[in-house]
Structure 1
Amino acid sequence: MVKKRKLHQVFRLLLVFFCMNVVWYIAYLLMNHPILPSPLVVYQAMGELGGRDLALNVGYSLMRIFAGVLLALLIGLMIGLLMGRSATWNKLLDPVVYLTYPVPKIALLPVVMLFFGLGETSKILMIMLILLFQIIISVRDGVKSIPDNTYDVLTSLGAGSAQKFWNVTLPGALSVILSTIRISLGTAISVLFFTEIYGTDHGMGFFIMDAWLRLDYPEMYAGIMLFSLVGFVLFLLVDLLDYKFMKWRN
């Protein structure tokens, strides 16, 4: 049953991918302009990309994404758990979070680059800022939504604070963390594209803009396709983590 459901999902993905390419090809025929090459030309350009340069650009982008997500998780998890389990800390930090959360993080890009330069630090920090506040709020709300009688049951069984954390608090927080990462990952990748335009010779953002400036449109679209593929793989990775650690929800 599970295997059949997975095959059905793969079939739907392939069908949607095929339909998107059909629409793309029709748009190419109607437009008949070099700025929109046909899908076949773009896929051919993808096949002609050098393996070493491609791996280098994708590797740099993935490194920045993973570093930013890890930082956001470490900081956001600690603050979110603190606010969720302590009414005092929640009252102190809640106004700070709500005043800073609505600030559009992409607008902070010039400020971050002024303070931290054009190198790796500013790129990783921007991704971290995109995810951080969403993780804090989600973890706090997830922890606060756990019924108190759940802890009472564990207390009656003789469980200590560490056991309560690992068996109740962390699973409750992890569920909302994965959902938050899944939602905000697309925004983080978009911000990464902007940060990779400046002060770097590597990364998918640099690769796409370099092809655009050289008017190599097939290679530009090939870069966009590869960047999209990176995002798709990251989404699948989050789904895999959700399936592995959140089996109790099913």
Structure 2
Amino acid sequence: MKSPRRTRFSQGLYSMAIILGFWYILHVAVGSAAIPSPHETLVHFVQALPGKLSIHLLYSLGRVLTAMVVSVVAGSALGIWIGSSQKADRLITPIVYMLYPIPKIAFLPILMIILGLGEEPKVLLIVLIIVFQFTMAARDGIQEIPKELVFSVASLGVGKWDRMIHLIIPAILPKIITTVRISMGAAISVLFFAENFATTYGIGYYIMNQWAMVNYKEMFSGILALSLAGYLLYQLIDGLDRKVCAWVHVGKGSKSKLD
């Protein structure tokens, strides 16, 4: 029986082979320099990564991870408060429902006017877009805790801090990590947009700048770097999930799906 780590590695290779196969078919079908061959792009990627490409990628990863940490902490804290207090739920939830659907990506010019042209407006834009997802995840996680369990903990005289550590946080952790998975793609997409304004470092800027200069191999190298970074981030999230939510995965090693 294969180990989980070997299985994940095999799945990664299989997925990469499928993507490269479609890429090669597209390269042959288009027959244009606008779609360079996978081989040429991979060679250029290996050559460019130790240089300027890695610098652009690190800037982008720093922005995404900073925004994600801020969103998880702030959104979860607000969600715990809403989920634990009926009064707060009645007062705050309607406000969240009104603010969440607003296309906040249009706020980037305003944020740049207020905060300047540095890192803050880009990070804050991502936070504004994904923070409410964590608020709702934490609130729903608390409200889904069985009442019997809440009454049992209360009857034991457990304090608020111990209740938070041993009941509330374990209850919302799986939802929070699932929300991290969902939000990561949105965060990277928003960052790609934000990095095309008033910046000289970032993978979004790198890709669009190479496109404007008709350097298609460099452009696809940037896309490849972004794809691999996203893959590694999702693998990191999966590892964190298995580590901090081990009780959720108990028994999942056996085959349970219907064939």
Q: TM-score, normalised by structure 1?
A: 0.94
Q: Is the 8 A contact 1:97 1:133 kept in 2?
A: yes
Q: Is the 8 A contact 1:131 1:181 kept in 2?
A: no
Q: Is the 8 A contact 2:174 2:245 kept in 1?
A: yes
Amino acid in structure 2 at the alignment position of 1:189: I
Q: Equivalent residue for 1:235?
A: 234
Say which SS state the counterpart of residue 198 (structure 1) adopts. coil
Q: Equivalent residue for 2:57?
A: 58
User: How many percent identity over aligned positions?
Assistant: 35
Between Structure 1 and Structure 2, how many residues are aligned? 249
Alpha-carbon separation, structure 1, partners of 2:175 and 2:24: 39
Q: Equivalent residue for 1:144?
A: 143
Alignment of 1:22-37 (within 5 A): 22-37=21-36
1:181-200, Cα deviation, whole Å (9 max, x unpaired)? 10121011011011111111
Alpha-carbon separation, structure 2, partners of 1:243 and 1:50: 30
Alpha-carbon separation, structure 2, partners of 1:8 and 1:50: 28
1:108 aligns with 2:101: no
Amino acid in structure 1 at the alignment position of 2:205: F
Amino acid in structure 1 at the alignment position of 2:242: Y
Say which SS state the counterpart of residue 173 (structure 2) adopts. helix
How far 1:237 moved relative to its partner?
1.2
Amino acid in structure 2 at the alignment position of 1:148: K
1:38 aligns with 2:18: no
How far 1:50 moved relative to its partner?
5.5
Q: Is the 8 A contact 2:80 2:139 kept in 1?
A: yes
Q: Is the 8 A contact 2:27 2:37 kept in 1?
A: yes
* Structure 1 range deviating more: 36-45 or 5-14: 5-14
Q: Is the 8 A contact 1:151 1:164 kept in 2?
A: no
1:214 aligns with 2:213: yes
Say which SS state the counterpart of residue 145 (structure 2) adopts. coil
Q: Equivalent residue for 1:197?
A: 196
Q: Equivalent residue for 2:175?
A: 176
Amino acid in structure 2 at the alignment position of 1:20: I
Amino acid in structure 2 at the alignment position of 1:186: G
1:39-82, Cα deviation, whole Å (9 max, x unpaired)? 00100110221524233212211111111111111211111000
How far 1:158 moved relative to its partner?
3.9
How far 1:167 moved relative to its partner?
0.7
1:8 aligns with 2:7: yes
1:99-142, Cα deviation, whole Å (9 max, x unpaired)? 01111222322332232232200010011112101111111011
Alpha-carbon separation, structure 2, partners of 1:50 and 1:218: 13
Q: Equivalent residue for 1:95?
A: 94
**5+ residue gaps, structure 2:** 250-259
Q: Is the 8 A contact 1:123 1:196 kept in 2?
A: yes
Q: Is the 8 A contact 1:58 1:203 kept in 2?
A: yes
Q: TM-score, normalised by structure 2?
A: 0.91
Alpha-carbon separation, structure 2, partners of 1:127 and 1:207: 19
Q: Equivalent residue for 2:72?
A: 73
Amino acid in structure 1 at the alignment position of 2:96: V
Alignment RMSD (CA, Å): 1.5
How far 1:88 moved relative to its partner?
0.3
